[in-house]
Amino acid sequence: MPIIEQLSHTDLERLALDRVVPALLTHGFYFVDGLLGEVAGGAVLDEVKQMHGSGALHDGRLAGSAPGVHRRSIRGDKTAWVSGSERGCEAIGFLLNLIDRLISVCAGRLGNKVIRERSQAMVACYPGNGAGYVKHVDNPNSDGRRLTCIYYLNKNWNVKEHGGVLRIFPEGKGYVADIKPLFDRLLVFWSDRRNPHEVQPSFSTRYAITVWYFDSEERAEAKRRFKTVTAPAHSRTAAPPDCEKTLPPGV
């Protein structure tokens, strides 16, 4: 995968159209390294560490689970939801703006679905005690999530020592894809049943920021449906909070 030190508008368009879109349509996922560079990526990491150290992260939510199943047997992360406009989240806001620009270029080339909005950002920490997240689908019940974007923040990460791989099980493929959660890496994949995935146990503190981009029609229908229907028990990942950002116009 390419290493991008600084992304101009032209670089961003080329990345989106030449690499991200073809990979999503062919394989269902794509990752790029060096998205922000050392300085800007380090600023995002500093903000996330500050949030963690201040106690702003709390146990990750589940949409539902079977009776008697302990939450930590499914997911062991701690999370917080941010818009990027909060004080102390300026670098996170810069990151989100860049991802928005990237996805806005991709959006019109990914089939006939309209992608205009995204969730807030979920800042997540696996505390390094063997915590992980069992195999699941982000959007198994048509809640509107179309694309999952995860930005990793882990310097000097050694998979053999630290674990924490995100393993994707692409639907209908005879292989799995193991994604190392390396610093300044952005991963993009379909949120629906095409990409079941898991976070393998982490034995060092593991940070990531996730945003979900919505299929507008499916999201609107989900909002109508969820007003009266409780999410099914087999859903393992809660839908993001109902606070969304409209994307800039695509190229």
* pLDDT per residue rounded down to tens, the chain (251 residues): 444 445 788 899 999 999 999 999 999 999 999 999 999 999 999 999 999 999 999 998 765 544 444 456 688 899 999 999 999 999 999 999 999 999 999 999 998 889 999 999 999 999 999 999 999 999 999 999 999 999 999 999 999 999 999 999 999 988 999 999 999 999 999 999 999 999 999 999 999 999 999 999 999 999 998 776 654 544 455 666 655 677 666 54
pLDDT at site 74 = 84
User: Rounded CA gap, 222 and 214, in Å?
Assistant: 11
| CB atoms inside a 10 Å sphere around CB 224 | 10
pLDDT at site 229 = 64
Domains and CATH numbers, the chain: 9-60+72-223 (2.60.120.620)
Spell out the alpha helix ranges (H) of 86-196: 90-107, 159-162
What's the farthest any 2 CA atoms get from each other in the chain?
52
Residues 6+ apart with CB under 8 A from 88: 47, 50, 51
| CB atoms inside a 10 Å sphere around CB 218 | 18
User: Rounded CA gap, 246 and 118, in Å?
Assistant: 7
pLDDT at site 225 = 86
pLDDT at site 213 = 98
DSSP code, position 140: S
- Which secondary-structure segment (H or E) carries 25? helix 21-26
